[in-house]
Amino acid sequence: MNFKYFFTNSTSYTVSKQEIYIIFSIFVIALIIRSYDLGGLALNNDEAIYAGQAASLANYSEYQDQFSIFRAHPLLLQFMISISFYFFGINEFTARIIPVFLSCGIVVISYLIAKFLYNKQTAILSSIILSLLPYHVAISKQALVDVSMSFFFVLNLLLIVLYLRQNTFVLLYGIGITSGLSFLSKEVGVISFVISIISIIIINKKIKVKNIVYITLSFIFVTSPYWISFITLEEARESILEYIDWQSSRPPNHDNTYYFLIICTDILGYVLTPLLVISYLYILFNKKTWKGSNLLLPFLWIAIPLLFYQLVSVKGYHFLFSITPLLVIFGISFLSGDWIKKISSKKILLISIIPITLLSNNQTINEYFLFTSYTPVLGSESLFHMKDAALWIKENTPENSTILTLYTHMSNIIKFYSLRDSVAIQSNNNPSYQKIENIDISILANNIDYIVYEKIQINNGKFLQSKATELEEYVKKYDGAPVYVNYQNYSNVGNNKLLSSPAIIVYEFN
């Protein structure tokens, strides 16, 4: 393979045989990185919910008692995972392998988007970075609906880019279908439908009702299972309406700078973030040499979702996963401008941008330079403690036991790994979770058999402290006897000794 091929800045809508080798190699790299130790970490809270739903869809009756099929989101990813469960059994690996393949597909699609909007050089650099980017890899290895939504989100944009070159009605159907599949993965995927309509109007330079109808009808047809269940099934309708009411009334969980900080520190890092800003300014001040689509399309598909997520009060670390490929592509596009031809050592610059970008983010800096763990998601560092406790509960408690926990994270993990009824004292009014009107009466009536006190969670979420105090009072009041203790080890900086403290305690009522 000619090494100069990597530095070609020509734009083409065809894919050569040599280029197929490059795309396949990048796909394999992405797959290996994401598959490594895929089943080594316990499922987190959201993963336990989606995996539990998938097991219910796969007709595992023991999970149907613990996880309602109709909850917060549509069921496209859960359905795909259920197929994996049906053929290969239920475990962490089979729950995550579908998201891994989808995320590798995102890398390939991103290559094509970058090539068709800019050139091969941008495509190769951005897709290599994306395949190795710590943020993208970390989210890719989780069974989250954001992964499937993002796959169809970027596929939707690819069809838009192809439509830019060839205005065929078949592509309009594809645009409607992919936006519908994005919605069926997660409700906020409807954003892709809205942006698609806006993009088509911009490309056509006027409103063509016929084109909008093609997209809309395709979208409605694909999403019809969702609407049919909403209309015909009372359980589904009540669940959807309760979640809408709950989500709209939830207080903010982060300040308004949260997403800005994630982009700067975790997604793009301290090198690619300035490049993103420079890229936009470069395009803005060099409009004569750049097509409007190179600026407008990436800008729309980044800005509108980002604005939506910013306006929603509840913010999530993984919410920006869908726009991460576009942020990387747009940032790298600056390195493919005409200005770089004047630099004699441009090859060194282009090659070095890959390791520099991958090393300049919080996860890499903390883990490989500061030698400290980096866990930006609540409770993610305590997963193995929670799984171990749940497995002990499965082996050492009666099947009809009911367990009270501090927080819903522990409750869901107990449901998944232990198959025991579990309720949380702190549930944030989530309509999916059972509420206990009077805990005292429930304990006295033997409706609660165990209390699981996940002390390790308190330092992660200060809002749990008052509930933790309440939980401790129930243990004291009713003479809860500790039957299992899971310890957390930590180092004392002062005397350089390894210490331990209770991470999770299981109390039994006699």
Q: Shortest CA distance to 276 belongs to which of 157, 415, 122, 406? A: 122
Q: What is the pLDDT of residue 2?
A: 45
Q: What is the pLDDT of residue 169?
A: 87
Rounded to 10°, the helix 346-359/269-285 angle is 130
DSSP string, 208-273: -HHHHHHHHHHHHHHTHHHHHHHHH-HHHHHHHHHHHHHHHHPPPSS-TTHHHHHIIIIISHHHHH
Query: How many angstroms separate the Cα of 123 from the Cα of each of 49, 326, 331, 405?
Result: 36, 11, 12, 48
When pLDDT is averaged across residues 396-419 and rounded to a whole number, the result is: 93
Question: pLDDT tens digits for 217-247?
Answer: 999 999 998 888 777 777 667 777 766 766 6
Question: pLDDT tens digits for 292-311?
Answer: 666 788 889 999 999 999 99
The bridge status of strand 450-453 relative to strand 402-407 is parallel
Better-scored residue on pLDDT, 364 or 50:
50
Q: What is the pLDDT of residue 1?
A: 42
The percent of residues above 70 in pLDDT, for the chain, comes to 85
Amino acid, res. 246: W
Question: Reading across the β-sheet that carries 421-426, which strands appear in turn?
Answer: 421-426, 402-407, 450-453, 497-508, 481-492
When pLDDT is averaged across residues 283-290 and rounded to a whole number, the result is: 64
3-state secondary structure of 30: helix
Is 50 exceeded by the pLDDT of residue 3?
A: no
H helix or E strand, kind and range, residue 502 = strand 497-508
Question: pLDDT tens digits for 158-209?
Answer: 999 999 888 888 999 999 999 999 999 999 999 999 999 999 998 888 888 9
The percent of residues above 90 in pLDDT, for the chain, comes to 54
Is 80 exceeded by the pLDDT of residue 427?
A: no
3-state secondary structure of 127: helix
What are the residue boundaries of the structural domains of the chain, listed by start? 7-369, 380-508
Question: pLDDT tens digits for 18-44?
Answer: 889 999 999 999 999 999 999 988 999
Q: State CA 477 to chain mean position distance.
A: 41
H helix or E strand, kind and range, residue 388 = helix 383-396
